[in-house]
Homo-oligomer: A and B are copies of this chain.
Amino acid sequence: MTRIPAPERRAALIEAALRVISRNGIAQATTRAIVAEAGMSLASFHYAFDSRDELIDELIEAVIEHARHAIMPDELPEGTLVEVLEAGIIRYFEHLKADPEHEQAMLELTQYALRSPDRHPQARAQYARYVELAERSLEVAAERTGSQWTVPIARVARVLVAFTDGLTLTWLVDRDDDASLAVANAAAVALSRMAEPR
């Protein structure tokens, strides 16, 4: 095995851990499985990290950092607010379909964090980040369609996150594309009611 400085190894291990969790679930993300995925020995793991817990902590921080691509596209389609919102949600849905295991991993990570008091703040931070991204997209959507939000945008964003979460969870279970498109449309309709023409 070639020699790799510890910081790079940490990054490589975090990536490997994420791959393992995506493929097999967090329960299977043992130090041995992670190390095998990264092609390292156990000693390298404990040289880079004090403990598995520390790896998981950093993993969550990392996924918060480069969280899912903004829920809305950069280049927005033309149209009414509802249409733009729906297009944005559908774009997220396409992203979900392209890599379902990743979103499933995110969900598991959240549930995992929720189970220990020490990590609960991390779950909150993860969702705060989602809301922040949603907020930014909603701002753009309103601006482009000549609308303005009549409800605090943070609140609108929080609702959007709830809707996309529900879309994700239910789709992961039944993989019903049509139903999810209906959810996307209904969500867009609901959100558009929180804005008015400017």
Contact = CB atoms under 8 A, between A and B. Distances in A.
A62 interface: no
A162 to B, nearest CB: 4
A110 B114 CA distance: 16
Contacts of A174: 124, 127-128
Q: Max chain B CB contacts within 10 Å: which of A128, A164, A174?
A: A174
A35 interface: no
Interface string A121-156: 001101110000000000000000000000100010
Interface in A164-188: 164-167, 169-170, 172-174, 176, 179-180, 182-183, 186-187
Tell which of A151, A158, A180 has the most Cβ of chain B within 10 Å.
Answer: A158
Which one of A176, A183, A186 has the greatest number of beta carbons of chain B within 10 Å?
A186
Contacts of A170: 127, 158, 161-162, 165
The DSSP consensus for interface residues of chain A is helix
A154 to B, nearest CB: 9
Contacts of A164: 166
A167 B173 contact: no
A194 interface: yes
A171 to B, nearest CB: 8
Given A123-B173, A158-B183, A186-B193, 6 more contacts: A25-B115, A127-B170, A159-B183, A161-B170, A163-B166, A189-B190
